[in-house]
Copies of this chain bind each other. A is one copy, B any other.
Amino acid sequence: MKKRVAVLGATGIVGQRFVSLLANHPWFELSMVTASEKTAGKRYSQVVKWIIEKPMPNQAEELVLEPLNVSRIVEEKIDAAFVALPKEVAVEVEIELARRGIIVISNASNMRLEPDIPLLNPEINADHVEAIEVQRSSRKWSGAIVKVPNCTTAILTLTLKPIYDEYGLKRVIVATMQGLSGAGLTGVPSMMILDNIIPYIEGEEEKVETESRKIMGLFDGNTIVFNNEFTVSASCHRVMVLEGHSLAVFIETNERVDVDEVARVMEEFKNNKIKDMSLPTAPLKPIIVRREIDRPQPRLDRLEGNGMSVVVGRIREDKALNGIKYFAVGHNTLRGAAGTGVLIAELLVKKNIL
């Protein structure tokens, strides 16, 4: 029996990704799509400006859009709701959904830092799902809320984890070149970005700096404790790339890094927490290392592992930090949003939470 799932905010770019991933999913039945009041009652294919590289699933074309309404979601016996709503809207419905028994897997940034809300990048911290029990008992929810990390953070932490495990981390500096889709379908006007860079993305640097330490923290049986061993400093910039976030990463490690071994450490990713779970959306290789001098590149590498792998290259010594530096590309609306959301849902099924 497939789980019945809804996508809340199904017409935006992250919503489109959710629809694309869920429409023919082996474990989930895409049973409801919501959008704004004014589109309610129309067919999904009539309303959506479908722009992703995969064709719209036939099954999705005929779905009828509903307005966002908690009671309707409960009535429809939805097991899990994937949230691709703006934070301001998400805030109003997520808790109510959890209270009424729905598993909420949310891409919205509210509550991401709360100590009983798992912020999951499954390969790194699948075990944080245990916090759901705490969450449920203290908040008196029959459902639950789990959060997908910020897009850049999801990509960055995946590359950091094997290095952390092997060498320890002290300081991480990251400068990003982020794709347009991160701002939504209409977020970046073409007049502002053509032949240009916008060196500011609201809230992004703070998210990278704090969420990284929660994802790489520990669940102590009671709360998720932030990792205080390392600090992160981020500088985030928008560039004229359709999709894919690119990161220049500089790292000071605790122990001396053997540059020649880092690639192997990343490719092996020994402590991958979902390695043997056979989750359908898990990439074969969470981290792919390219040896060419000029890779990865966002247009050419963003879809590796169906957009769920992060591609790393140019691993080299960093003389200022006595550590290493490298370049990484990840897909911001797949690994950085909807893809990780679906992967989390699969993990919850495996753990019998969903």
Whether B177 lies near A239 (C-beta < 8 A) is yes
Residue of A53, A199, A241 with most chain B CB atoms under a 10 A cut-off: A199
Q: Using A191-B51, A191-B180 as known contacts, say yes or no to A233 and B246 having CB atoms under 8 A apart.
A: no
Whether A197 lies near B171 (C-beta < 8 A) is no
Q: Which of B172, B232, B233, B299 contacts A196 (CB 8 A)?
A: B299
Q: Is A276 an interface residue (CB 8 A)?
A: no
Interface residues on A, range: 35 or more
Whether A51 lies near B240 (C-beta < 8 A) is no
Q: Is A198 an interface residue (CB 8 A)?
A: yes
Q: Is A190 an interface residue (CB 8 A)?
A: yes
Residue of A49, A173, A232 with most chain B CB atoms under a 10 A cut-off: A173
Q: Using A190-B189, A190-B190, A321-B233 as known contacts, say yes or no to A241 and B195 having CB atoms under 8 A apart.
A: yes
B residues in contact with A293, CB < 8 Å: 200
B residues in contact with A242, CB < 8 Å: 191, 194-195
Interface set of A (CB-CB < 8 Å, partner B): 13, 49-51, 53, 171-173, 175, 177, 180-181, 185-200, 209, 231-233, 235, 237, 239-242, 246, 248, 250, 293-300, 313-314, 318-321, 325, 327
11 intermolecular pairs with C-beta atoms under 8 Å apart: A51-B192, A53-B53, A175-B235, A175-B248, A187-B189, A187-B191, A194-B240, A194-B299, A197-B297, A233-B320, A235-B248
